[in-house]
Amino acid sequence: MLDNPNESKPKQKFFDKEYLIGLLVSFIATGVMFALVLVIELFGVNLKFETDKYLILINSFTVSGGLSICFYALVVLTSFGAFDLISYSIQLSWYTVFHKDLRKSKLPSSFHEYRALKSSQEKRRTSFMLLGSLPYLITGIILCIPYYVIYR
């Protein structure tokens, strides 16, 4: 689309519609994880909410926020190309098994070409995943303070 390298791409706002939708989805997904951990803590571990409410809430907030941040870290590693060789080899084996002529497929002929093609694609912003899970992790850490000061 832009043939001239001197032309710059239009500046994208940080909080556009796509980013806000991703932030909302990330926040809701972390909330669902929070609810699942809360249910597991109440019914699976047999903790009583009246006596162990701080422990249950600390675990629920911290685990859901921590898992979301770990998922964000995997997405960041993937965007840096950590799993490109695995992805290329799986696609290559798939095309080798199910296509007669491998070179007539859409797959690049070498891994170097595959990496060049992947690096030329526009990177997606994924910081909304971090911003959607940080409130849960921070809340869990803040709840740790009264628990360890008062109850321990």
List, for residues 75-133, the tens digit of each pLDDT value.
999 888 888 888 888 888 888 888 777 667 777 878 888 888 888 888 778 889 999 99
The 10s digit of each residue's pLDDT in 26-85 is 999 999 999 999 999 888 887 777 778 888 889 999 999 999 999 999 999 988 888 888
| Residue 147 banded pLDDT, cuts 50, 70, 90 | confident
The string of DSSP letters for 64-128 reads HHHHHHHHHHHHHHHHTTTTHHHHHHHHHHHHHHH-S-GGGSSS-SSHHHHHHHHHHSPPPP-HH
